[in-house]
Each structure stands twice: as structure tokens, then as C-alpha cells.
């Protein structure tokens, strides 16, 4: 393994820490706090429907090939760490399942056309044929793979629906917890809900979450490469 590859996870961790710091500074300087308070109040004012609306928004984002990361970060800011994590995990799993079923049925020809000349997808298909849901789980652990696209592509593989859903559900948990923790911390910082000591603890937790996510991703990518599927470029 080259020195560049060895340094790559460390670089990711450093960039993640810098991103957290930049986000917290922006939240202090910009009038995001009042906006966030009003939006949180609106979501809370509609009661349980707020959770349903947010979950459905996540499903729509998955199916429409829209970036879901803003929703992931938003969930922590709106619902807090525990409830936000649940909303994201449920919404992302449902969205991934709907996309999977569409890729296997109504959108099969379109997805086949998109993957026809993709050597990496063929390698992925062969790996899933050999190892089944384990590959799905590993790819979920490694957020470098485009989430919306891979959901549809999985529908063309031989993985069973139940195995796919279970692997997706558990595979997205680590990165979801990390992102929601960071957004919850940022929201609390913006709305001055935390004491200085508590904020420092939250930030430290966010940094550790980023580092853990980077190394989990590294392990997952190594396992995926051993199975014959390269990291997307």
C-alpha cells in the first residue's frame, strides 16, 4: 500500500474536523440561530406529523436522486440526536427500499442502461452473487458510494429484498449517528442551549465521531476491494 493511501484516512479525518469547526463558526456569525428556532417550533407544532413529513421527505430525496445529506444534518438540528437518528435511519431505509424495488421493476431498463458499460457495477454484482448481503452492508458502511444511485443499482443484483433491507438498516447506522450528532451539536451551539463545558464535550464527541466514521469506512472499503469491487472514482 502506498504512503498516499495510508495518509488518505488521516486527511479525511482532518478535513472532517475542519468542517465541524467551520460549521460552528458560521452558526455563531450568521443569524441561523433564530431561523432554526422558528423552524424547530413549526415542526414541533405539528406534532407527530413532523416526524412523518421528514421521513417522507427523505424517501422522496432517495427516489429522486437528490442529495440526502442536508436532511441528515437537518434531522439532528430539528429533532435532537436520538429522535433525529431514528428519523434518518427509518427514512433512509424506506427510501433505499423503494428505490431498490423500482430498480428491480418499473425502472429496470433505465437502470440497466445506466450500468451497462460500468465495469465496477459488474464487479459489484459478482461480489453480491458470491457473498450476498455482506457486500451490501459493507458498502453502506462506506459513505463514499453514491447513496441514491447505488440503491437503484442494487435492484439489478441477486440480493434478496429482506437481506437488502436488513443490511441497509444496520449499515447506515454508524455514519448516521456521526452526522446527526454533529448537527445536533451545531444546532445547540447556534441556539445557545449549551454551556461552554457541555459544548466542548459535544464538539469532542463530534470529532471522535468523524474519526471513527473515517476508519470504519477504511475497513469497509478494504473488505469491499478484497471482494473484487473498487472504490468509485
Q: How many domains does the chain have?
A: 1
**233 occurs within a structural domain:** no
Higher pLDDT, 215 or 111: 111
The secondary element (H helix, E strand) that includes residue 37 is helix 32-45
pTM for the full predicted model: 0.72
Higher pLDDT, 45 or 190: 45
**197 occurs within a structural domain:** yes
Is the pLDDT score of 37 beyond 70?
no
End-to-end alpha carbon distance in the chain: 18
**232 occurs within a structural domain:** no
Euclidean distance between CA atoms 69 and 72, whole angstroms: 5
Is the pLDDT score of 24 beyond 70?
no
**231 occurs within a structural domain:** no
Residue from 114, 90, 172 nearest 139 by CA: 172
Query: Domain of 106?
Result: 3-226
Residues with Cβ within 8 Å of residue 220, at least 6 apart in sequence? 138, 139, 141, 142
Instruction: Fill in the DSSP letter of residue 231.
Output: P
As a whole number, mean pLDDT of residues 176-183 equals: 86
Q: Tell me the per-residue pLDDT of 66-120, one tens digit each, with 9 for 90 and over.
A: 777 778 888 888 888 899 999 999 999 999 999 999 999 988 888 888 888 777 7
pLDDT of the residue at 11 = 57
Amino acid at each position: 500500500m502506498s504512503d498516499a493511501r495510508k495518509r488518505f484516512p488521516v486527511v479525511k479525518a482532518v478535513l472532517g474536523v475542519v468542517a465541524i469547526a467551520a460549521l460552528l463558526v458560521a452558526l455563531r456569525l450568521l443569524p441561523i440561530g433564530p431561523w432554526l428556532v422558528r423552524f424547530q417550533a413549526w415542526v414541533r407544532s405539528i406534532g407527530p406529523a413532523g416526524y412523518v413529513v421528514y421521513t417522507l421527505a427523505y424517501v422522496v430525496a432517495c427516489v429522486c436522486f437528490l442529495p440526502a445529506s442536508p436532511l441528515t444534518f437537518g434531522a439532528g438540528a430539528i429533532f435532537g440526536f436520538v429522535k433525529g437518528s431514528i428519523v434518518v435511519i427509518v427514512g433512509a431505509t424506506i427510501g433505499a427500499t423503494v428505490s431498490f424495488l423500482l430498480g428491480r421493476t418499473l425502472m429496470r431498463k433505465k437502470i440497466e442502461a445506466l450500468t451497462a458499460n460500468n465495469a465496477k457495477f459488474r464487479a459489484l454484482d459478482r461480489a453480491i452473487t458470491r457473498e450476498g448481503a455482506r457486500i451490501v452492508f459493507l458498502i453502506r458502511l462506506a459513505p463514499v458510494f453514491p447513496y441514491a444511485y447505488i440503491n437503484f443499482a442494487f435492484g439489478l443484483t441477486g440480493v434478496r429484498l429482506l437481506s437488502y433491507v436488513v443490511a441497509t438498516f444496520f449499515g447506515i447506522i454508524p455514519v448516521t449517528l456521526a452526522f446527526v450528532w454533529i448537527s445536533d451539536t451545531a444546532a445547540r451551539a447556534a441556539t445557545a442551549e449549551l454551556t461552554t463545558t457541555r459544548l466542548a464535550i459535544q464538539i469532542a464527541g463530534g470529532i471522535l465521531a468523524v474519526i471513527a466514521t473515517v476508519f470504519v469506512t477504511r475497513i469497509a472499503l478494504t473488505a469491499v476491494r478484497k471482494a473484487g469491487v473498487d472504490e468509485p472514482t
